[in-house]
Structure 1
Amino acid sequence: MLKKIFNSQTKPITKGALILGTSYFISAILGLFRDRLLVGHFGAGLELDVYFAAFRVPDFVYNILILGGLIVAFLPLFAEYFSRNKVDEANASSPPFANARVNEVWQMTNYVLNAFLIFLISISFIFFLLTPWLIKWIFPGFGPEHYKLAIPLTRLLFLSPIFFGVSNLLSGILQYFHRFFIYSLTPILYN
């Protein structure tokens, strides 16, 4: 049953849009619930200010570098390359993806994914080193106790662009194959 759900393809675009829209709605509700729990538990104070500040810097890096450029550049190339090199699966006697040209597409995707992972680790490491300066520059009103908590937390959160970047690249590939259910779970799990 689960295998069928996770491997199902969504052919009509309206069904895919409904799945994604529903997941984003659930994600927004969970995000409000998460923020309410944080405020209820910590109250408006030092810890919550530090958490939101530490979260903003890696999230900004992720949104600008990864969502804003790299993923947007790769996915059209993948779609073009894959559609140009795939066989007509309805007429092929061999199983899907047995074609050597399609294997080349997956090999290219593997190279891109590995290069992307190395790039993300490098960028995260650079920002890890620059964290004290970034926090002081972006949040000049923080006191010494804020900086003492914000710098290590921000450094820890710089792991998230690595995982989210790879996840988004793979999610884009899933969307190309009309597999929206798995992708629709990511914003829910994020919150």
Structure 2
Amino acid sequence: MMTENKKITKAASTIGMGTLLSRILGFFRDMVIAHFFGAGMAADAFFVAFRIPNLWRRLVGEGSLTISFIPVYTEYLTQRSEEESRKVTHTAFTIGGVILLVLTVLGILFSPILIRVIAPGWYTEYPEKFHLTVTLNQIIFPYLFFMGLFALCMGVLNSHRHFFAPAVAPIFLNISIILSVLIFYHAFEIPVMTLALGVLAGGIIQFLFQLPFLRKKRITFRFDFNFRHPAIKRIGLLMVPGLIGTAVYQINVFIDTIFASFLPSGSVSYLFYADRLMEFPLGTFAIAVGMASLPSLSTLATQGKIDEFKETVSFTFRLTSFISIPAMVGLIALKTPIVNLLFQRGVFDYGATEMTARALLFYCVGLWAIAGARTVVPAFYSLQDTRTPLRIGLI
């Protein structure tokens, strides 16, 4: 039993360290954005434009696709032949790539409608901001395609108990955005375009970084349009409730954006910066533990080791609570000094600090509960049960 817990702890440490480095660079990235763009029109436009493809990435890529793929693929790895498991990856990458490509093209074509739905106040009150957001969104949207493929790579590598490459890959996104702004800020008539191009380049690099590690596992890409493959059917059936369940949480973010679009300029940015701070402990600890536990729980479920399965779930929840509760208290108590230290420079003034800190306070109230859910929900996914998390999420 301790062996499985040690595996999870080691994997969570790898994911957590990679996430920590990414978040540190992410805060530096946000400091650069705050310095050059503050919390004004350009920053608001970028945050909304980036939020839409990023939402689809979380829903289709790292969300429902990964959580549906890992349990089924793990079963093939442990119970079937190596050749059969390879066929699963070939078919998943082929069909997944086609779906992602279609979503990307549709997203670019229907960007004006998407932005009008997400930020309705801008269409009527701030037309210049609306059109800028549409343009940025169309540049960023191909990011979804590459991040979806990255999520599949992550699912394969994690199933093979390789966590390093997917964990450190997000670092390249932050580096790409930072360098794009610092190098090309004065090269564009509309400087905020550098952020959009940085996001797109970062997504491409993250995907390409996984390929050498896949080759080491003898995983290659081959076209296989076998829609009738039993594993693909099961992944598809698991994805539907998983997609809806993941969407429930993400929709809350968009509700915030919709309301904020009717508020004074900068409101969307305040929420973004506050959410970034709350996501720091979530990503570094809770999500890391959840991601690390999914392959182990899937293996235990496949082998029918229910007692060990239960103990592993209990262990991961205790581990996450040990970190998330103190983190919640610390963020609430030090909200203003933290925002001041990280963001108050350049055009990001004290007023922006106060508003961001106020938003952070309300976000942090639910931090411990969100962290607990991120840890427990993978237990259901490992049992190939995506319906129960959906029902709970809807409540």
> What is the TM-score with the length of structure 2 in the denominator?
0.40
* 1:140 correspondence with 2:120: yes
How far apart are the structure 2 equivalents of 1:33 and 1:183?
Answer: 21
3-state DSSP class of the match of 1:141? Answer: helix
Instruction: Tell me which of 91, 98, 101 is aligned to 1:121.
Output: 101
How far apart are the structure 1 equivalents of 2:60 and 2:166?
Answer: 20
Instruction: Tell me which of 144, 159, 175 is aligned to 2:158.
Output: 175
Instruction: Tell me which of 157, 161, 167 is aligned to 1:184.
Output: 167
Which amino acid is the alignment partner of residue 106 of structure 2? I
- 1:14-163 to 2 correspondences below 5 Å: 14-85=9-80, 101-142=81-122, 143-163=126-146
Which amino acid is the alignment partner of residue 158 of structure 1? F
Give the number of the structure with larger relative contact order, counting CA–CA contacts within 8 Å between residues 6 or more apart.
Answer: 1
How far apart are the structure 2 equivalents of 1:178 and 1:67?
Answer: 17
Tell me the CA shift for residue 111 of structure 1: 1.2
3-state DSSP class of the match of 1:79? Answer: helix
**Share of identical aligned residues, percent?**
33
> What is the TM-score with the length of structure 1 in the denominator?
0.80
Counterpart residue number, 1:166:
149
Tell me the CA shift for residue 104 of structure 1: 2.8
Which amino acid is the alignment partner of residue 150 of structure 1? T
How far apart are the structure 2 equivalents of 1:52 and 1:172?
Answer: 28
Counterpart residue number, 1:13:
8
Tell me the CA shift for residue 33 of structure 1: 1.1
3-state DSSP class of the match of 1:174? Answer: helix
3-state DSSP class of the match of 1:173? Answer: helix
Number of matched residues? 166
Q: 1:42 to 1:148 in 2, by over 3 A?
A: same
Tell me the CA shift for residue 72 of structure 1: 1.4
Post-superposition CA distance 1:45-93 (Å, at most 9, x none): 22111111101111112212323322211121111012112xxxxxxxx
Tell me the CA shift for residue 44 of structure 1: 2.5
Tell me the CA shift for residue 31 of structure 1: 1.3
Counterpart residue number, 1:94:
none
Post-superposition CA distance 1:147-191 (Å, at most 9, x none): 221112101211111111111111121112122221221232233
Assess if the C-alpha contact under 8 Å between 2:50 and 2:137 holds in 1.
Answer: yes
Counterpart residue number, 1:7:
none
Assess if the C-alpha contact under 8 Å between 2:50 and 2:140 holds in 1.
Answer: yes
Tell me the CA shift for residue 24 of structure 1: 1.3
5+ long unaligned stretches in structure 1 = 1-10, 86-100
How far apart are the structure 1 equivalents of 2:151 and 2:22?
Answer: 16
3-state DSSP class of the match of 1:151? Answer: helix
Runs of 4+ with >6 A deviation: none
Superposed CA RMSD: 1.6
Counterpart residue number, 2:301:
none
3-state DSSP class of the match of 1:39? Answer: helix
Assess if the C-alpha contact under 8 Å between 2:108 and 2:141 holds in 1.
Answer: yes
How far apart are the structure 1 equivalents of 2:136 and 2:92?
Answer: 30
Which amino acid is the alignment partner of residue 171 of structure 1? M
More deviation in 136-145 or 65-74? 65-74
